[in-house]
Structures are given as structure tokens and as C-alpha cells.
Amino acid sequence: MSWGIIATWRMALEGIQEGVKCLQNKGNSGDAIEKAIKMVEDFPYYKSVGYGGLPNENGEIELDAAFMDGDSLSIGAVAGIKDFKNPISIARKLSGERVNCFLVGQGAEEYAHKNEFERVNMLTDRAIIHYKNRLKETVDKGLSPYSGHDTVGMIALDSNNSMVGGTSTSGLFMKKRGRTGDSAISGSGFYVDSEIGGATATGLGEDIMKGCTSYEIVRLMKEGYSPQEAADKAVNDINNLLINSGLRNAILNLSTEKQ
Ligand code: GLY
């Protein structure tokens, strides 16, 4: 049996290497994904995920994450969660819940607290400096503050043919308090079915959600498209639709792109 793990962005490399070790030693895809994404969340210099992530317009770190098991199609997700170290682990735990498996804000924090997940102030000095500089630059140069939102998304396949997907992000820089993008939303930021394949997205959530892009990719793979063909078609179709209808407001990026 073969195994594999793939992710968005260079920031995932060290995590992927851990995931590979896990899968090589007959570990399962859920453990590989959780380990790998935790490494990205824990590294303070990746400024769009986890500790040291991009603040919202109030200077707070609100994080989104999701975990999907491609065997059972179970999903766990958190959105707008503050002050917990590893949102991916909370999302994974939630994927074991039959109901109430997608929690936001205070509800997500209460669940995490009750289940003894580690609390950490996720706002670093570096993120505060970045926030202040960007705020000034945005005002001085009249720029859009809404750039820099690189989600880590991963898909892993283990030697038992089980596939898992995970995402984690601080979302859009300078987002409104409570704003959630695609990363916690099934079918938009991620989708995985062990019988078919999986996809995760990175880019502007507001646009990705318009095309349910990750689900669309998996659906196309089910129709017989290769992963690359399915990703190209899903992205191009929604991109063209948005351009033609005048609704497009950002470039879509998927995991096939390089940083
Ligand atoms: N893709 C991440 C976000 O828009 O929040």
C-alpha cells in the first residue's frame, strides 16, 4: 500500500517531514496531519497560522481550523477561537462528535477549555509590530489591508488507504472580529473522501466559498479527472464565472501553486 502527504506553502515543509516519518512508520493519516499542522501552528514566524498569526482589525488573533476524516466523512472545525495553542487538535477532537462538531468563538473556547487543550496568548510582539506597521502603511499609502492570508492545508493518505484533510489559519489580516473564511467550512476550504481523494484551498476565503472549491475538485476527481485537471478546472471555472459576472474580487490560489 502507498501513502502520501501534501500541503500548501513552504511553511508546511518541516511539518510535512514529521508527517512523512509518521506515515512511514505505519502511523495513521489523522496523526500525521495533526502533527504536521501543529508544527506550523507552533512556529512563531509563520505569520498567517497559529502562534504569531495575523491579527484582526482589533489587534486580536482569531483562528480557524478544520479536520476531516475521509473514511467516515466526519468533520470537526473551529472558527474565531482565541488563546488556544493548537486549533487543529481541537478540530480533530470535534470531528469525533456526532453533533456540535463545528464551534465558533466563545463556544469553541469553552469546549477547548473543558477538554483541557492548552491555553496560550497567541499574539506575539512580532505580530503587534507587524500590525502597527501595516496599519500605518495602509493609511499612508491608501492600500487595501486585506492581503496576506496563507492557510496551511494538508491531505494525508496512510497505508490503510485512509485519507484525512486539515486546515489552519489566522484568516484575513485586519479582518472584522468574527469574520470566518473558507478554511473552517467543509467543501470550501477542504474536502476529503478516502474513496476518491482530497483537496484544500488557500487564498481569499470570500471567493473560494463562492465555488465550494474543494468539494468541486473532489467531485471532478470522482468523475474521472486527475487531481491536477480537477484543480485546474474547478479554479478556472469559478474564476471565469466571477470575472464574467463582474463579481471577482481576488485571485484564487490553490495548493498547486508555489509561494
Ligand atoms: N483562506 C483563508 C481565509 O480566507 O480565511
Three-state SS for 190?
A: strand
Q: Residue 166 pLDDT more than 60?
A: yes
Residue 212 to residue 247: CA distance in whole angstroms:
15
- The pLDDT confidence band at residue 55, using thresholds 50, 70 and 90, is confident
Nine cell digits for residue 38: 501543529
> Residue 176 half-sphere exposure, CB side, CA atoms within 13 Å?
4
Q: Write down the pLDDT at residue 148.
A: 58
Distance, CA of 252 to CA of 208 (rounded, Å): 7
Q: What is the 107 CA–ligand 1 centroid distance (Å)?
A: 21
Whether the per-residue pLDDT at 60 is higher than 70: the answer is yes
Nearest to 56 by CA among 103, 123, 138: 123
Cα(214) to centroid(ligand 1), Å: 13
Min mean pLDDT across 38-42, 71-75, 100-104, 118-122 is at 118-122
C-alpha cell belonging to residue 247:
463579481
**pLDDT value of position 134:** 79
Segments of 82-173 assigned E as strands: 102-104, 152-157, 163-169
Residue 89 Cα distances to 16, 78, 121, 127, 168, angstroms: 16, 10, 17, 23, 10
When pLDDT is averaged across residues 85-104 and rounded to a whole number, the result is 98
Question: Average pLDDT of 186-209?
Answer: 95
**Cell numbers describing residue 54:** 495575523
- At 228 the pLDDT is 96
Of residues 179 and 54, more confidently modeled: 179
- Does residue 252 carry a pLDDT above 50? no
* Cα 141 from chain centroid (whole Å): 30
* Residue 66 Cβ contacting ligand 1 at under 6 Å: no
Q: Which cell numbers hold the place of 23?
A: 506515515
Q: Higher pLDDT residue, 227 or 137?
A: 227
- What nine digits make up the cell of 242? 466571477
183 lines ligand 1 (CB under 6 A): yes
Percent of the chain scoring above 90 in pLDDT: 69
Q: pTM of the prediction?
A: 0.90
